[in-house]
Amino acid sequence: DLRFNRIKEIQPGEFRRLKNLNTLLLNNNQIKRIPSGAFEDLENLKYLYLYKNEIQSIDRQAFKGLASLEQLYLHFNQIETLEPESFTHLPKLERLFLHNNRIAHLIPGTFSHLESMKRLRLDSNALHCDCEILWLAELLKTYAESGNAQAAATCEYPRRIQGRSVATITPEELNCERPRITSEPQDVDVTSGNTVYFTCRAEGNPKPEIIWLRNNNELSMKEDSRLNLLDDGTLMIQNTQETDQGIYQCMAKNVAGEVKTQEVTLRYFESPARPSFVIHPQNTEVLVGESVTLECSATGHPQPRITWTKGDRTPLPSDPRITITPSGGLYIQNVKQEDSGEYTCFATNSIDNIHATAYIIVQALPQFTVTPQDKTVIEGQTVDFPCEAQGYPQPVIAWTKGGGQLSVDRRHLVLSSGTLRISRVALHDQGQYECQAVNIIGSQRIVVYLTVQPRVTPVFASVPSDMTVEVGTNVQIPCNAQGEPEPVITWNKDGVQVTESGKFHVSPEGFLTIRDVGTADEGRYECVARNTIGYSSVSMVLSVNVPNVSRNGDPFVQTSIVEAIATVDRAINSTRTHLFDSRPRSPNDLLALFRYPRDPYTVEQARAGEIFERTLQLIQDHVQDGLMVDLNGTSYHYNDLVSPQYLNLIANLSGCTAHRRVNNCSDMCFHQKYRTHDGTCNNLQHPMWGASLTAFERLLKSVYENGFNLPRGIEPKRLSNGYALPMPRLVSTTLIGTETITPDDQYTHMLMQWGQFLDHDLDLTVAALSEARFSDGQHCSSVCTNDPPCFSIMIPPNDPRVRNGARCMFFVRSSPVCGSGMTSLLMNSVYPREQINQLTSYIDASNVYGSSDHEALEIRDLASQRGLLRQGIVQRSGKPLLPFATGPPTECMKDENESPIPCFLAGDQRSNEQLGLTSIHTLWFREHNRIATELLKLNPHWDGDTIYHETRKIVGAEMQHITFSHWLPKIFGEVGMKMLGEYKGYDPSVNSGITNEFATAAFRFGHTLINPFLYRLDENFEPIPQGHLPLHKAFFSPFRIVNEGGIDPLLRGLFGVAGKMRVPSQLLNTELTERLFSMARTVALDLAAMNIQRGRDHGIPPYHDFRVYCNFSSAQTFEDLKNEIKNPEIREKLSRLYGSPLNIDLFPALMVEDLVPGSRLGPTLMCLLSTQFRRIRDGDRLWYENPGVFTPAQLTQIKQTSLARVLCDNGDNITRVQHDVFKVAEFPHGYSSCEEIPKLDLRMWQDCCEGPYTGG
């Protein structure tokens, strides 16, 4: 007991040799410090009292040796700091009192070794509670949670938490921050004796301590003098040696937590070394769907980098299935067949690059790629069961029948593809066949069944025989047949198939009924019975007897002719006055002007047909008044109306007889070389074939309500196949009109424009000359009736147009051909009504030169004698526009607010219809003059006619070549071009005439390709200042060419802009169905409704008949159409509109068929168009490829020609085009300079010697 003395210091070793001392009391003295070793030897001391001294510091080793000490009292001193090691040697210490000192900070870990602690007091000190003290808070919480120890410690600073127990302090209150790494170490390669720096910088609150680990063990800087920890945390290793090799990691820790950097590697090398493989990749076999690893590993210094390529040195595909493992192996999961092949592993460092290869062999179970289907065939036919499989190794295909071997004979063949072919199938071949695909991995099998039907070709049960019948009677011709399967019966008259109409009816058993027989019905009738095995046919000849007796109508002939001439001429003259003596006032006027024949001969011929028809109508009316019978009904017999001798009188007086053309084809010098303007004398045996102003041809017999001239649907209440026909306007709004457009990703708007230009070379129906009723002269649009020539398009009750008070849309019938419909009584008989094609049917550039001598002379520049065409105003570019049409105001001056510029004059009267078309007309008129000028330079001795005809011949050939070699392949695609077939030479038995179905429905598919805008682009393919044009502003607007930049912007807009894609649900844009020829305060026209109405006007049979004509399946339900019209919504709309699939009009059905892949046409449309274009080509004696038309050298030049070249030569200033202007290209990369586009070398047309008729 040394209490209450004045002891000031304790020397080390003061208490030696007091080994058994239990308690030492030193309190209440003046001791200032406790040195190291002060209590040596007191190994059994349990209680040490040092309170109430003046102790300020305690040395690290002060309590060393006190292994048994349990209680240590240091309170009421002046201690400010404590060394953490001071209490490390006190394993049994239970009680430590440090209260009432001046301790402000405690170093982390100061009390962590006191495992026996039961009571710790730190209260009444000057403790700063900052982040540094959090370790103590954690320790006190641990004591509290364990319940074994009590502790007291309170905060003095900061003032806001003065007096708080340290145990309750949280890091958030003190704004403490976990360490975060701001600079990471990097991998390093070393050799012996280097110095390495591993950077590690961290921030946090409090400032983190940096500790380095090697291979997860803490590095001791003390044990190895080569290691130094710099102030910023960087580890410096001097004089590197092999033992330094390993994984290093830096850890930053503070009281708020700790964080580690990424692991980095120190690689030790003796000295730089080239790569060498430790593991070579090995050839590996793997099954499809499994995973595979090609191992590859290399050593070297620096450590080589491993990369992989496919065997041909192409990079590996970027595929999530393919990865490179950390060791360098190539790992592919879910292996596919295409993964098989050679792979190369490259090991590369700065010294060298080495590689090794291995194969992955992907083995796959056989999988069928083509599977056979059950088949039913007729004996004697050949049947193929295709069966193809893939796998690795490639599987072998084996066939068995009923589990046994196939018959070993020449009839059973397994082709190299795996297909089983059985020729001349016999009844005993029926049964089950199995195709097996086998390789070493396994096999797959598939079973099919062959059914063999015995052959039963159709056999006639009743056959027709020749008959002679009285004119005006009804006749039934018997024919029926049996066979297996049951045959279908069709009838042909003189080689053309008969269709169901008011004239003809085929009964279910096959009998043909002909109503109201006339001499036109005389001829050979053939009954054809077809089934899948074959067909049989039998024929008979029908003769008609015309007794010479007077008819009911004879007394009325004279008065009726006079009245007919008067009423028809009155209606025509009022129409002409209305149209030509003032500006057009409505879209109807525009349409009428646009279609009004310009050639006087055409006008006369159409007038004659109308007078003839009107005469008969009047006679009919007179007879009707007397007889009180319904002459409009189908029961009326037209052949009984007038006696034959009176027919000739009507023919003479109406002008029909005068307009029968007599052809003179005697000038063979001319005809062998050149075309006539009107197309006559092309076919020398049939000079009228393909000529202008002749009736359209037909693929199928016409279908009129009464068999002769009344259109289907003219009587709204009349049912067809149980349903009334829908109004064309309703079909248009329900099925055809669209605001939406899908751009064509392949073809430009030029595809549409060439189609329209080409159409205007092939057909133009002669419209009625009158817009007014013949009966009373009232205008067709005001009366909304169907009196000739009116055939108004009625507007349905809930149509948006009704709101504006419109009841109908203007429409007049096409003029009849003299000798058809009513007028056919000329021939002593009724022929169904036919319509007139005003143009030649050949591709002969009649759109440039006209289809009659009259038109051609109007266009030619005869004054100069240089073979040129007339030209109009010359533009700044130095190139001329087309000449203006002379005469009364025209459709082009429809709006006085716009520039008063008349229509242009060209070979086709429709050239002003829209600006895109006008610009193409301009191009080709310039092409004529360009070639003519060139030919005159080469052959100065040629006269103007020779130059004109030679040039015309070249221009026609250019158009034929562009159409068949550049345009049709895009429209037809591969399938259609195969149907068209190769050119085999001229066939004089082919009639090139345009068919009514082509002109009225099929070729109108081009309407679905029209964009609602005409784009106008400058030389940089940017919009011109005046902007693009909505289509309705481009109709009849030649002033825009004169005043708004010429033809180039329009042409660039055609070949520089994508066309409209034909999608079955997006057919005609509303610019055509709602705003056609629109003008203020008038009813705009609807092109789709007009197309449908025109089809009915022309007696075009319904879609179903053409399906049968084209050998497609007959459709009894709308579901039967699903192969050609896949969209169920469209089939549902057709069903709602038409009720029966047998009623659908041809035009809308062709439009909604799905496109044949690679083409722009549906299957039926492709059949109709390929038929027409084949006839146009094969029946043209002057076709450009027909040997002798051009010399071989000239033909080679014509085959160089392209629309791109014509644009370059004849645009105002077109310098860049695509090689193929029908194909979409990116500007500028897809465009070429005009210099690169091949030219036509006209030197091939130079005469070697002068003389008459040497041209060409």
How many CA atoms, within 13 angstroms, populate the side-chain half-sphere of residue 1207? 30
Q: What pLDDT score was predicted for residue 659?
A: 52
Known catalytic residues are: 760
Reported as a single tens digit per residue, the pLDDT across 809-854 is 889 999 887 754 443 443 445 567 889 899 999 999 999 999 999 9
CB 1144 within 8 A of CB 1104: yes
Q: Which contacts of 1146-1149 are long-range, i.e. CB under 8 A and separated by 24 or more positions?
A: 1146/997, 1146/1000, 1146/1001, 1146/1002, 1146/1095, 1146/1100, 1146/1101, 1146/1102, 1146/1103, 1146/1106, 1147/1000, 1147/1001, 1147/1004, 1147/1088, 1147/1091, 1147/1092, 1147/1095, 1148/731, 1148/735, 1148/736, 1148/1088, 1148/1092, 1149/1103, 1149/1125
Spatial separation of the C-alpha atoms in residues 1128 and 1114, rounded to whole Å: 18
Ordered by start, the domain boundaries in the chain are: 1-175, 177-269, 273-362, 371-453, 456-545, 554-840+1064-1152, 846-978+1012-1056+1183-1244
Q: What pLDDT score was predicted for residue 1235?
A: 96
Spatial CB neighbours of 64, under 8 Å, sequence gap ≥ 6: 36, 37, 39, 40, 89
371-453 adopts what CATH topology?
Immunoglobulin-like (2.60.40)
Spatial separation of the C-alpha atoms in residues 902 and 583, rounded to whole Å: 11
Reported as a single tens digit per residue, the pLDDT across 712-726 is 989 888 898 899 999
Q: Give residue for tokens 């192996």.
A: 329
Architecture of domain 456-545: Sandwich (2.60)
Confidence of residue 647 (pLDDT cuts 50, 70, 90): low
CATH topology agreement for domains 456-545 and 846-978+1012-1056+1183-1244: no
Given a cut of 50, is residue 136 above it in pLDDT? Answer: yes
Spatial separation of the C-alpha atoms in residues 302 and 988, rounded to whole Å: 86
Confidence of residue 1195 (pLDDT cuts 50, 70, 90): very high
Q: Just give the CATH number of 846-978+1012-1056+1183-1244.
A: 1.10.640.10
What is the CATH superfamily name and number for domain 273-362?
Immunoglobulins (2.60.40.10)
Given a cut of 60, is residue 627 above it in pLDDT? Answer: no
Is the domain covering 1-175 a CATH 3.80.10.10 domain? Answer: yes
43: left (phi over 0), alpha (psi -120 to 50) or beta: alpha
Is the domain covering 554-840+1064-1152 a CATH 1.10.640.10 domain? Answer: yes
Q: What pLDDT score was predicted for residue 291?
A: 94
Class of domain 177-269: mainly beta
Spatial separation of the C-alpha atoms in residues 274 and 894, rounded to whole Å: 89
Reported as a single tens digit per residue, the pLDDT across 971-1012 is 999 999 999 999 999 999 999 999 999 999 999 988 888 888
Q: What pLDDT score was predicted for residue 655?
A: 59
Reported as a single tens digit per residue, the pLDDT across 655-711 is 565 555 667 888 999 999 999 999 999 999 889 899 998 889 999 988 988 777 889
Binding residues: 1007
Spatial separation of the C-alpha atoms in residues 799 and 806, rounded to whole Å: 10
Reported as a single tens digit per residue, the pLDDT across 518-536 is 777 889 999 998 877 778 8
Stretch 437-441: mean pLDDT, rounded?
Answer: 92
Q: What pLDDT score was predicted for residue 616?
A: 73
Closest CA to 612 of 657, 578, 571, 643: 657
Binding residues for heme b: 1007
Region of poorest pLDDT, from 970-979, 1114-1123, 1127-1136: 1114-1123
How far does CA 389 lie from the centroid of its chain? 31
pTM of the model: 0.61
Burial class of 1056 by CB neighbour count within 10 A (0 to 12, 13 to 18, 19+): buried
> How many CB atoms lie under 10 A from the CB of residue 658?
12
